[in-house]
Amino acid sequence: MDEIDGMSSGDRGGNAALIDAIKCTNVPIFCICNDRMNPKVRTLANYCYDIKFAKPAKQDIATRMVKICQSEGFQKVESLAIEEITSRLGCDLR
């Protein structure tokens, strides 16, 4: 479930239904949010294993982007251009 911190805007019972599903299933349910401290997530968080991720370093993203470009057939990639793109993305891989 992506964007669970925005789930309760406009729906009724979405968080409660998700909590019920988490309680009764043996299959892991991944809940993703941008704002873990959002009050809408507080109750749900009691039923989740909380894993925090940090943004990757700019250089790690640039290295990965170069590999992707090469695998797509772009043999010459300017590293300065890749670093500029990475900076403008704010180190957000999405």
Instruction: Supply the pLDDT for residue 11.
Output: 63
Between 51-55, 73-77, 89-93, the lowest mean confidence (pLDDT) is in: 89-93
Give the integer Cα–Cα distance in Å for 29 and 91.
Answer: 26
Please state the pTM of the whole predicted model.
Answer: 0.56
Instruction: Supply the pLDDT for residue 10.
Output: 62
pLDDT single digits (tens) 19-52:
888 889 889 988 888 778 877 788 888 888 888 8
Give the integer Cα–Cα distance in Å for 48 and 64.
Answer: 31
Give the integer Cα–Cα distance in Å for 56 and 71.
Answer: 21
Instruction: Supply the pLDDT for residue 8.
Output: 59
- Token pair recorded at residue 81: 């251009």
Instruction: Supply the pLDDT for residue 31.
Output: 82
Q: Domain ranges in the chain?
A: 4-45, 58-88
Q: How confident is the model at residue 9 (pLDDT cuts 50, 70, 90)?
A: low
